Amino acid sequence: MNNLKLKAIASIVLSATLIASLTACSGGKNDDSSSANQKPGNSSGAAVDENPYGYSPAIDLNVGFGYASDFKPAAQETETKNTWMDLYAENGLNIKPMYSVDASQANTKLATAIASGSYPDVFAIKGSELVKYAQTNVIADLTDAYEKYATPELKEYVNTNNGSDLVASQVDGKLYAIPKVGSGYDSAMVMFLRQDWLDNLGLKIPTTMDELVEVARAFTKNDPDQNGKADTYGLALNGKEGFAMMSGLQAFFEGYGAAPGHWNGMFTFIEKDGKVAWGGDFPAEMKKGLAVLQGMYAEGSLAKNFGTMDLTAINKDLGSSTAGIIFAPYWGPMTSIKNAVLNDPKALFTSAPIPDGNGSGSSKAYIPALPETYWVASSKTQNPEALIKLANLSVQKLIYPKDDEEYYKYFGQIEKYSGWKYSLTPTTNPLGNLENYYKKTEALTSGDVSILNIEQKTDYDKIKYYLDAVKDGSHEEKVKAQDPVLLSGLAYYEAQFGLAAVDEVKSSNAINPLAYTYIPTETMTSKYSTLNKMALETIVKIIYGDSVDSYDKFLTSWKALGGDQVTKEAQEWYDKNK
């Protein structure tokens, strides 16, 4: 564990999550376009420009936005008036909002638009949708546009992971998307828990599932917050959304080496002894974990209604100091931790890898290798290359800023700007989080800030501000006053803890080896929803009290209803590409 973790100190995050669905009406036609501005061979009359960043004359792109419910624009900014919309306008890309909805409705809104036949110019989809939309001519072939307009910086970005993301964006050898490239480690599930509750009860961070059961029991029965009330419980699980980012059920089974699901909407195929297996097709490991969860539920260490709990409910219970343990990626619980600290400035959190369930080293993280988001253009738009130009601008400003001023302007400062979340294609540094963690940890230890780049130094200054407030005893007062710099420092400091746990996973190579790292086959796409739902419902019912052995019957049905076939197809791909 890194030396920052001398004492886990609670943190919060101010930044609300903007999820830009990038939905837009089909169109983008520029009535002023002339033959001089038309792409050779383009009979549609669409306006084009050799400029890789924009157009002259300008074109319109009507986009839709999906904002998380807690999103609050900074200062006077709105979705149409901010640094990014100004940048687009300066480059001849006039963004015309079609709608602004809560993020929870964005996918439904997009699906309805596509079904109606009047659908976006540019939008974001999951990998499970890419083949379907490409083969049904919903989205445009971007092969030529990418080759003509992609800047060297964009090409470097999409080839970060040895080109695998770009390959995954192709269907039948043609490019249909610009992938949102990231590091799989950013999705690794780790454990967050209340350090102050552990301290109050004289307990240590659990490293085994047996210890986790004991801690969860104590958090439920031994008044960990010392308020004299039986108003707490141990482990919050997301039973409604199932294999979710926020305390998804799959995380618990990762402690036993299994991987029954993930929130990226694709089958979790892993390799074992040269064979491909669905991550839930490990009956011994799954049944052991199910028996433990069933026992925890019976004694009250899980919420009575965990099967109907979703992201909102998980956030509420952790934020109100009702639940003491959750699973999430390093960035996942920031909203709920924020609420917990604002409600009680003395609240402390820490994080660690998911505990071992089958002996030392049995906990194996499932870390997806494919992008979770793909940006695509409508097959009906007259300017599909606009997507490439949006991405060029994003990479230029977010990964290769020319100076400090440009960095702050477009990436943002939480106290002043909404920053990168207003970008329509937010292409942040794919490997930046762990790299930044290592550098900031070193600087916080040595005091040498010369090793930090501009992004790292910005974070460091906020963390230092927070740590100085802790040292001089003013941090609780500043939390109560909602000091924006302090709250930002808390956010980045908590991220350091989450990344410390991720680094432990990485350093020990406690990772399930992936066996399938390509977009889903047609069979996988058609079977996923039914089989995934079966798995979730079976797990929830067993935790509620059904026989643990009923998992065997479920596996038989899962295989017969398509599981064997999708596994066979994954095996065939693995054999050709291993």
Q: Residue 130 falls within a domain, yes or no?
A: yes
Verify that 73 and 200 share a domain, yes or no.
no
Alpha carbons 225 and 229: distance in angstroms, whole number: 9
Q: Which residues of the chain have pLDDT under 70?
A: 1-48, 67-75, 413-418
- Examine the fold and report which residue of 465, 486, 507 is the final residue of a domain before the chain moves on: 507
Tracing tokens 């990762």 back to the chain, one arrives at 254
- Per-residue pLDDT tens for 119-155? 889 999 988 789 889 999 999 999 999 999 999 999 9
- Examine the fold and report which residue of 401, 422, 443 is the final residue of a domain before the chain moves on: 422
Q: Work out the widest C-alpha separation in the chain, in whole angstroms.
A: 78
Among candidates 265, 271, 172, which has minimal Cα distance to 525? 265
Counted domains in the chain: 3
| DSSP helix/strand/coil, 118 | coil
Verify that 318 and 215 share a domain, yes or no.
yes
Token pair in block for residue 186: 């950013």
What is the residue type of 427?
T
380 within 8 A of 372, measured Cβ to Cβ: no
- Give the contacts of 97 (CB within 8 A, at least 6 positions apart): 62, 63, 64, 65, 79, 80
Verify that 354 and 250 share a domain, yes or no.
yes
Among candidates 47, 139, 131, which has minimal Cα distance to 93? 47
Verify that 258 and 241 share a domain, yes or no.
yes
What is the residue type of 143?
T
Q: Residue 145 falls within a domain, yes or no?
A: yes
Q: Residue 5 falls within a domain, yes or no?
A: no
- DSSP 8-state secondary structure symbol assigned to residue 302: B
- Examine the fold and report which residue of 448, 478, 507 is the final residue of a domain before the chain moves on: 507
Q: Residue 4 falls within a domain, yes or no?
A: no
The CATH code of the domain that includes 153 is 3.40.190.10
Verify that 358 and 230 share a domain, yes or no.
yes
Verify that 243 and 319 share a domain, yes or no.
yes
Among candidates 533, 168, 511, 512, which has minimal Cα distance to 373? 168
Strand ranges (DSSP E) for 316-406? Answer: 323-328, 349-352, 374-377
| Centroid of chain to Cα 198 | 28
Look at residue 573 in the predicted model and tell me its pLDDT. Answer: 93
Using CA atoms of 375, 376, 382, 385 in order, give the dihedral in degrees to the nearest 10.
Answer: 60
Verify that 502 and 570 share a domain, yes or no.
no
Give how far Cα 240 sits from Cα of 192, 243, 530, Å. 20, 9, 15
Verify that 317 and 448 share a domain, yes or no.
no
Verify that 31 and 44 share a domain, yes or no.
yes
Among candidates 536, 453, 523, which has minimal Cα distance to 132? 523
Q: Classify residue 124 by burial, with Cβ atoms within 10 Å: 0-12, 13-18, 19+.
A: buried
Verify that 155 and 198 share a domain, yes or no.
no
Q: Is the dihedral of CA 489, 492, 495, 500 positive or negative?
A: negative
SS (H, E, C) 186-234: HHCCEEEEEHHHHHHHCCCCCCEHHHHHHHHHHHHHCCCCCCCCCCCEE
Q: Residue 12 falls within a domain, yes or no?
A: no
| DSSP helix/strand/coil, 94 | strand
Q: Residue 3 falls within a domain, yes or no?
A: no
Identify the domain containing residue 389 by its residue range.
18-184+370-422
User: 550-558 and 283-298 helices cross at what angle (nearest 10)?
Assistant: 130
Look at residue 477 in the predicted model and tell me its pLDDT. Answer: 93
Neighbour-count burial for 464-494, b at 16+ CB within 10 Å, e otherwise: bbbbebbeeeebeebbeeebbbbbbbbbbbb
Compute the C-alpha angle 150/151/157, nearest 5°: 90
DSSP 476-496: HHHHHTT-HHHHHHHHHHHHH
What is the residue type of 429?
N
- Per-residue pLDDT tens for 342-393? 888 888 899 999 999 999 999 999 998 888 899 999 999 999 999 999 999 9
Alpha carbons 58 and 49: distance in angstroms, whole number: 10
H helices of 322-418, in order, are 334-343, 385-398, 404-410
Q: Residue 13 falls within a domain, yes or no?
A: no
Look at residue 463 in the predicted model and tell me its pLDDT. Answer: 92
Verify that 28 and 154 share a domain, yes or no.
yes
Q: Residue 427 falls within a domain, yes or no?
A: no
Verify that 202 and 236 share a domain, yes or no.
yes
Look at residue 468 in the predicted model and tell me its pLDDT. Answer: 95
Give how far Cα 271 sits from Cα of 373, 507, 518, 571, Å. 24, 20, 14, 9
